[in-house]
């Protein structure tokens, strides 16, 4: 039998993992072949629940809720089921739809709405913060990020959106204290002549603007 790599084939299905101890679904996924029973590439939250069940002599109930569909249909249903149960009640790390290539406008809109609703919740932002807090970035990755940003220019709209977001976000007292401690006792390196020239020009412009505004008020 030849391997079917056609994403439009009706070989996909949507499955759910249910806990026999609580009678609740704890994971929603899509796949084909043996994916529903394969434990490879499972996230740590999923494995924590799975292993806990095994330790208590139980095994999850794997339910195929839809089969014989193409990949896009399976991904759409996966998104809907995760939204139905609520991602906070599942071990899914995302709101579904991962791996969807060139999705329709309807699918893109559904995914966008789901993500926006997710990150309105403080607990979701806290999860992201905790997950990234101790993550270390290799020098190679830092170099790639730096190279990708070189020469990149943001539009006026993007700059304005960043300013608005920064004002809403604000700076916490803990961050202010950390910044204060970081610079306490630190000697600033002397300014270069180029920097001094730029500061002088900026000061002249500010004074000219101040005088102009004052004259306009008269």
pLDDT at 102 over 80: no
Q: Give tens-digit pLDDT for 1-50.
A: 444 556 567 889 999 999 999 999 999 999 999 999 999 888 889 999 99
Q: Choose the weakest-confidence range: 81-95, 123-137, 150-164, 173-187.
A: 123-137
Q: Does the pLDDT at position 120 exceed 70?
A: yes
Token output for 195: 């920097």
Q: How confident is the model at residue 172 (pLDDT cuts 50, 70, 90)?
A: confident
Checking 53-61 for CB contacts under 8 A at 24+ apart, the result is 53/19, 53/20, 53/21, 56/21, 58/19, 58/20, 58/21, 59/20, 60/17, 60/18, 60/19, 60/20, 60/26, 61/17, 61/18, 61/19, 61/20
92 neighbors 82 (Cβ within 8 angstroms)? yes
Both tokens of 99, joined, read 């791996």
* Residues in the chain, overall count: 218
Quick one: average pLDDT of 191-213? 87
Tokens 């900026």, residue? 202
Q: Which pLDDT band, with edges at 50, 70 and 90, does 98 fall under?
A: low
Q: What is the DSSP string of 123-161?
A: HHHHHHHHHHHTPPPPHHHHHHHHHHHTT----HHHHHH
Q: Work out the number of other CB atoms within 10 angstroms of the CB of residue 30.
A: 26
pLDDT of residue 210: 85
Q: What is the pLDDT of residue 195?
A: 87
According to DSSP, the residues that pair with 25 across neighbouring strands are 18
Mean pLDDT is lowest, of 45-49, 169-173, 209-213, for: 169-173
pLDDT value of position 14: 94
Q: Are 96 and 114 in contact (CB under 8 A)?
A: yes
Does the pLDDT of residue 148 top 80, yes or no? no
Mean pLDDT calculated for residue range 157-186:
77
Which candidate, 101, 70, 66, places its Cα nearest to that of 80? Answer: 66
Residue 113's pLDDT band (boundaries 50, 70, 90)?
Answer: confident
What is the pLDDT confidence band of residue 51, given thresholds at 50, 70 and 90? Answer: very high
pLDDT, tens digit, 9 for 90 and up, residues 149-161: 677 677 788 788 7
């Amino acid at each position: 039998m030849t391997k079917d790599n056609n994403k439009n084939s009706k070989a996909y299905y949507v499955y759910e993992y249910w806990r026999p101890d609580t009678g609740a679904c704890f994971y929603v996924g899509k796949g084909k072949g043996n994916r529903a029973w394969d434990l490879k590439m499972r996230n740590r939250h999923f494995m924590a629940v799975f292993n806990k069940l095994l330790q208590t002599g139980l095994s999850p109930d794997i339910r195929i809720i839809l089969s014989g569909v193409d990949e896009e249909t399976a991904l759409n249903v996966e998104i809907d089921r995760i939204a139905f149960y609520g991602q906070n009640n599942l071990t899914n790390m995302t709101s579904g739809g991962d791996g969807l290539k060139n999705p329709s406008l309807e699918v893109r809109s559904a995914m966008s709405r789901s993500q926006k609703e997710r990150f309105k919740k403080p607990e979701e932002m806290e999860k992201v913060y905790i997950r990234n807090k101790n993550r270390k970035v290799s020098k190679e990755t830092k170099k790639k990020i730096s190279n990708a940003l070189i020469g990149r220019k943001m539009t006026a709209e993007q700059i304005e959106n960043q300013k608005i977001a920064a004002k809403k976000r604000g700076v916490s007292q803990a961050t202010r204290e950390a910044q204060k401690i970081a610079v306490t006792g630190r000697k600033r390196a002397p300014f270069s002549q180029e920097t001094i020239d730029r500061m002088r020009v900026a000061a002249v412009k500010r004074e000219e603007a101040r005088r102009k505004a004052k004259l306009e008020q008269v």
